[in-house]
């Protein structure tokens, strides 16, 4: 079963507070991904972009 994300909130140091549909409450460290995945580097380079995290119907987006 694929779980969806119920809510997401940006925290300091590129951490996300994520609540999953089944009620699990998680912290996700995006910092490692920013360092290792080329497409994520804008989250560090563009001031304020990480703080704009939001959900849409199918995925988590930074826009």
Exposed e or buried b for every residue in 8-42, given b needs 16+ CB within 10 A? bebeeebebebeeeeeeeeebebeeebeeeeebee
Grouping H, G, I as helix, E, B as strand and the rest as coil, residue 59 is: coil
Distance, C-alpha 17 to centroid of its chain = 8
pLDDT at 63: 54
pLDDT single digits (tens) 24-54: 999 999 999 999 999 999 999 999 999 999 9
Which tokens is 45 given? Answer: 């380079």
Where in the chain are the domains? 5-62
d(CA 38, CA 42): 9
Please determine, for residue 62, whether its predicted confidence score (pLDDT) is greater than 80: no
């Amino acid at each position: 079963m694929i779980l969806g994300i119920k809510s997401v909130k940006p925290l300091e140091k590129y951490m996300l507070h994520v609540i999953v549909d089944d009620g699990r409450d998680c912290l996700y460290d995006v910092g490692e991904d920013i360092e290792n995945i080329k497409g994520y580097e804008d989250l560090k380079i563009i001031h304020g972009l990480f703080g704009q995290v939001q959900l849409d119907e199918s995925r988590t987006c930074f826009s």
